[in-house]
Amino acid sequence: MSFLVLNFSKKVSKKQMWIEALNNGKFKYFERYRDPLTEKLKKVSVTLDKKTPRAQKTAQAELSNKINKILSQKTGNNITFSELYKEYYKNWSPTVKASSLRGTTAQDRRILEKIGEGVKAKNVSRRVIQELVNEMMDEGYAYSYYNGFKKRFHSILEFGVRMGYLETNEASFVKAPKKVKTFEEVQEKRESYLEISDIKLIISALRLTSRVEHIANFVEFMAYTGARYGEAAALTANEVDLEKGIITINGTYDRALKIKTTPKTDFSYRTVTIPDNVKSIIREQLELLELHRSLKGDDFNKDNYIFFTVNGAAVDLDTVNVVIRRAAEKVGITKHLTSHIFRHSHIALLAELGIPLSAAMDRVGHTDYKTTLNIYSHVTKSVKIDIVKKLNEIK
């Protein structure tokens, strides 16, 4: 009986099974195979009580199973999805920040639960993935979330392709369907920024309460620099040069670990010029820091954050969001606000001032022009009014 020919770049030569009689009266059956890694011939064996044609058929089947199992393990074509995920995670996790790991936890858990423990990676088809994505859409998840779910599948399976475990990435054929948006939803997306007049109203409302003065400063800083929450929260005295009128953004605040870490992307490293009002805010915060240290000791705010609480900790995002929403309500602003709207508002302000798109991208640390361009394409009310005035002046 001949051994099967495996589908490798070098085909295994056909070898005959042979039998050796043992001293105990039993028979040992052998079969050779070529190791795909070393390309050397190796052998497997099975011991049976008899040497009959029936026994030989049984031995041949068992030997073939043994060889197939060994070769499957060595080439990875029998790897389960959960095994593939573990190998992927081991290679991927050291390359990303702790916040990114936390951000994928829920998605990864759902993926592993839905696929199951013993399912072979090669059997995770595009139809299976598409059904899971559609299921999340039907359950009411936001597009960004179930699209991210699909992207996680793609990353895991792409690793499998690169490692030679899979021939194709089935997630490449999957689409995350988008629901048709209402007019109100489209408008809300387009108006994801505030007019400078609204920003001033919110800041004025914040300054009416002395205990949130530091948040008023924090908000004004974001609105006039375009810094992300994490970048503003992580800014230290060492990264400020008031004489030159610049700040250096080289990190972000990790809320879970409560430490400063590397920024969101490589492009996020940047130097930003600051206007006079931001210089005044920073001076005020530095003076406040010195006052607190004179009263509470040099260990107060030992990380030298520019923006800090009465306890010396970095400004908390949840607190900022709650405080600005209350201030917005007081001045009649009904939009759902988060700190990120001040970053978008800064980009809108740059558009209103006629700053070139590339310069705006560099200032706010955007790598994808689409994000900046989306805001540039929906300029603020004052610009739209100015357009009408100029059109009316045409004779």
Per-residue pLDDT, averaged over 290-315, amounts to 95
Domain identity same for 254 and 376: yes
154 burial type by CB count under 10 A (0-12 exposed, 13-18 middle, 19+ buried): middle
Kind and range of the H or E run holding 266: none
pLDDT of 74 reads 55
| Angle between helices 276-296 and 213-225 in degrees, nearest 10 | 150
Mean pLDDT of the chain, nearest integer: 87
User: Which one has a higher pLDDT value, 16 or 187?
Assistant: 16
358: in domain: yes
Domain identity same for 256 and 359: yes
Q: Where are the beta strands (DSSP E) in the chain?
A: 18-21, 27-34, 41-48, 240-241, 246-249, 252-254, 259-261, 270-273
Residue 196 · residue 349 · CB < 8 Å: yes
Domain identity same for 60 and 87: no
pLDDT of 7 reads 39
pLDDT of 3 reads 37
Share of the chain above pLDDT 90, in %: 64
Q: For 214, which DSSP code?
A: H
Per-residue pLDDT, averaged over 99-121, amounts to 90
Q: pLDDT class for 140, splitting at 50, 70, 90? A: confident
264: in domain: yes
The two three-digit tokens of residue 316, written as one number: 């908390």
**Into how many domains does the chain fold?**
3
- Whether 205 has a pLDDT exceeding 50, the answer reads yes
Q: pLDDT class for 380, splitting at 50, 70, 90? A: low
Please write the tens of the pLDDT for every residue from 10-50: 334 445 899 999 999 999 999 998 887 677 888 999 999 99
* Position 258, amino acid: K
Per-residue pLDDT, averaged over 92-105, amounts to 87
Per-residue pLDDT, averaged over 113-117, amounts to 93
CA–CA separation, 336 vs 322, rounded Å?
Answer: 11
- Whether 257 has a pLDDT exceeding 50, the answer reads yes
* pTM, two decimal places: 0.67
Domain identity same for 62 and 87: no
214: in domain: yes
pLDDT of 5 reads 35
The two three-digit tokens of residue 144, written as one number: 């960004």
CA–CA separation, 88 vs 105, rounded Å?
Answer: 14
Q: What CATH number does the domain containing 139 carry? A: 1.10.150
Q: pLDDT class for 190, splitting at 50, 70, 90? A: low
The two three-digit tokens of residue 133, written as one number: 């994505």
1: in domain: no
Per-residue pLDDT, averaged over 49-62, amounts to 93
Lowest mean pLDDT among 134-138, 188-192, 222-226, 239-243: 188-192
pLDDT of 39 reads 76
CA–CA separation, 121 vs 163, rounded Å?
Answer: 13
Q: pLDDT class for 242, splitting at 50, 70, 90? A: very high
Domain identity same for 61 and 92: no
4: in domain: no
Within a 13 Å sphere around the CA of 61, how many CA atoms are in the beta-carbon half?
A: 7
Domain identity same for 109 and 153: yes
13: in domain: no
Domain identity same for 153 and 265: no
Share of the chain above pLDDT 70, in %: 88
- Whether 212 has a pLDDT exceeding 80, the answer reads yes
Within a 13 Å sphere around the CA of 123, how many CA atoms are in the beta-carbon half?
A: 11
Helix ranges, 17-176 (H): 53-75, 81-92, 98-115, 126-138, 143-162
Q: Buried b vs exposed e over 111-143: b needs ≥16 C-beta within 10 Å?
A: beebbeeeeebbebebebbbebbeebbeeeeee
Q: ∠ CA 121-124-128 to the nearest 5 degrees?
A: 165
Lowest mean pLDDT among 259-268, 269-278, 338-347, 356-365: 259-268
Domain identity same for 59 and 96: no
Domain identity same for 235 and 137: no
What does each C-alpha distance from 187 to 192, 214, 249, 288 come to in angstroms?
A: 9, 32, 32, 41
Q: pLDDT class for 388, splitting at 50, 70, 90? A: low
User: Which one has a higher pLDDT value, 302 or 178?
Assistant: 302
Domain identity same for 54 and 91: no
User: Which one has a higher pLDDT value, 148 or 370?
Assistant: 148
152: in domain: yes
Q: Where are the beta strands (DSSP E) in 264-368?
A: 270-273
12: in domain: no
User: Which one has a higher pLDDT value, 182 or 18?
Assistant: 18
What does each C-alpha distance from 180 to 149, 150, 185, 390 come to in angstroms?
A: 20, 19, 10, 36
Per-residue pLDDT, averaged over 236-241, amounts to 96
Per-residue pLDDT, averaged over 77-102, amounts to 89
Which residues form the domain of 136? 81-179
